[in-house]
């Protein structure tokens, strides 16, 4: 019971910090009206939380294997991945509601079509979601003794690296034009796409550092 509460506390903490950051940047210091908190602002917090959890799952995996922790551990990578998957699906739904020039004018050309970088960003995000779902579905089946166990788990771990890499590509293509103008950042706070990219990069680097 205590372990479950710890897990929920960690996930809730990530969500709360992401929501607070999004509110500060876009509503308090930015020019977004409070009436758009329900989808526009919270969607940004959801997307950042998802990538943070995915990045965390990369680092906690090697650490917990060193400790010999059980799959029921609070920060077991599978649990973090499942929470991230739920948030990614929510992000997809919320994004579909507002992906238009009225909300994201910079994503679209004058003729109403999306810019090339945005289309590639969507592709990277879609592939990440499909791979995350496949990884989730395959984890139990490939980890069993009848399937060789460790070699197959190694493939799943590489899939996790690819998911986070695709997530990083998704946010880079989506937001990098705004990264180059820190003078325009609301309240001096970096864009959520940049914060998400840093989290993903830290997870990827940390994965290899921890395994050394």
Note whether 182 and 33 are within 8 A (CB): no
2-7: average pLDDT: 57
Q: Please, where are the H alpha helices in the chain?
A: 2-23, 42-67, 77-98, 116-143, 150-179, 192-211
Domain ranges in the chain are 2-211
pLDDT of residue 149: 47
pLDDT of 2 higher than 70: no
Q: What is the per-residue pLDDT across 13-30, written as a single tens digit (0 to 9) for each?
A: 999 999 999 999 999 999
162-183: average pLDDT: 95
Mean pLDDT (the chain) is 86
Q: What is the per-residue pLDDT across 43-102, written as a single tens digit (0 to 9) for each?
A: 999 999 999 999 998 888 666 565 555 545 555 677 888 899 999 999 999 999 999 999
Three-class HEC string of 33-45? CHHHHHHHHHHHH
111-128: average pLDDT: 96
Give the CA distances from residue 129 to residues 59, 75, 107, 170, in Å, rounded to whole numbers and listed in that order. 20, 21, 21, 11
Kindly report the pTM of this predicted structure. Answer: 0.86
pLDDT of residue 7: 66
The correct answer on CATH 1.20.120 for the domain covering 2-211 is yes
Give the CA distances from residue 153 to residues 86, 163, 189, 195, in Å, rounded to whole numbers and listed in that order. 22, 15, 39, 30
Percent residues over pLDDT 70 in the chain = 80
pLDDT of residue 151: 44
Give backbone dihedrals phi and psi of 114, rounded to 5 degrees, phi first.
-70, 150
Q: Which of 81, 82, 87 has the alpha carbon at shortest distance from 54?
A: 81
87 alpha carbon, distance to own chain's centre: 8
């Amino acid at each position: 019971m205590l372990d479950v509460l710890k897990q929920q506390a960690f996930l809730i903490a990530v969500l709360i910090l992401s929501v607070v950051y999004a509110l500060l940047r876009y509503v308090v210091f930015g020019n977004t009206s409070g009436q758009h908190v329900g989808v526009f602002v919270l969607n940004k917090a959801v997307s950042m939380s998802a990538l943070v959890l995915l990045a965390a799952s990369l680092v906690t995996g090697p650490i917990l294997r060193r400790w010999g922790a059980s799959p029921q551990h609070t920060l077991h990578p599978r649990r973090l991945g499942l929470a991230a998957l739920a948030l990614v699906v929510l992000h997809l739904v919320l994004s579909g509601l507002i992906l238009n020039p009225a909300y994201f004018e910079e994503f679209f050309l004058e003729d109403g079509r999306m810019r090339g970088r945005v289309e590639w960003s969507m592709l990277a995000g879609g592939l990440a979601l499909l791979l995350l779902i496949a990884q989730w579905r395959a984890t139990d089946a490939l980890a069993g003794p009848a399937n060789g166990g460790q070699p197959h788990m190694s493939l799943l771990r590489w899939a996790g690296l690819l998911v986070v890499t695709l997530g990083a590509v998704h946010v880079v293509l989506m937001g990098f034009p705004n990264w180059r103008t820190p003078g325009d950042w609301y309240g001096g706070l970096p864009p959520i796409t940049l914060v998400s990219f840093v989290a993903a990069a830290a997870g990827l680097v940390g994965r290899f550092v921890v395994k050394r």
